[in-house]
Amino acid sequence: MGTAARDLATLSGQHDVPVRSLSYGERHAGEQISLRRQDILEPAAIRALEPGTALLLAIGVRPALLKLRPWYSGPHAGDIAAARDRAVARITAGAVQHAETGAAARSRRRGNGRRRAGYACARTRAARFHIGQSVDLRYRSA
């Protein structure tokens, strides 16, 4: 994460910070103000962002920290959950169909003309998963 935080800090840009210097002599005191460039956000500050916070980087706009609202606590949580479930079901069905057709095609390429009932299904793994888990649908021998 160190590299990603450093890249985000670079993308967030820099700003000028005034630095005041005082010098004292025997008869007089002197003051000098110079400008020093500093990152708007340090990588350590980006790594320390609390969960539920996002860093918005857009062209022509200063970087902004956003407080995120979990979708499951909003007013449209039921609609979003239903749409997610429909999408998962369609992806699962498509993956199973693809795995079954892939197994049959591999069998034909090998010259295995025998066809048993449930051949493709017996050689594929069921695609049951939750959001965030990987699905393994590769060809498996029974």
Q: Dump pLDDT digits (tens) for 31-76.
A: 888 999 888 888 888 888 898 898 888 888 888 889 988 888 889 9
Average pLDDT over residues 11-33: 86
**What is the percent of the chain where pLDDT is above 70?**
70
Given 3-state DSSP classes, what are the helix, strand and coil percentages for the chain, each rounded to the nearest 5?
40, 20, 40
Residue ranges of the domains in the chain?
A: 2-19+32-68, 73-122
Among the ranges given (30-34, 52-56, 92-96, 121-125), the one the predictor scored with the smallest mean pLDDT: 121-125
Output 69 or 118, whichever has higher pLDDT: 69
DSSP-based three-state secondary structure for 72: helix
Residue 107 confidence (pLDDT)? 65
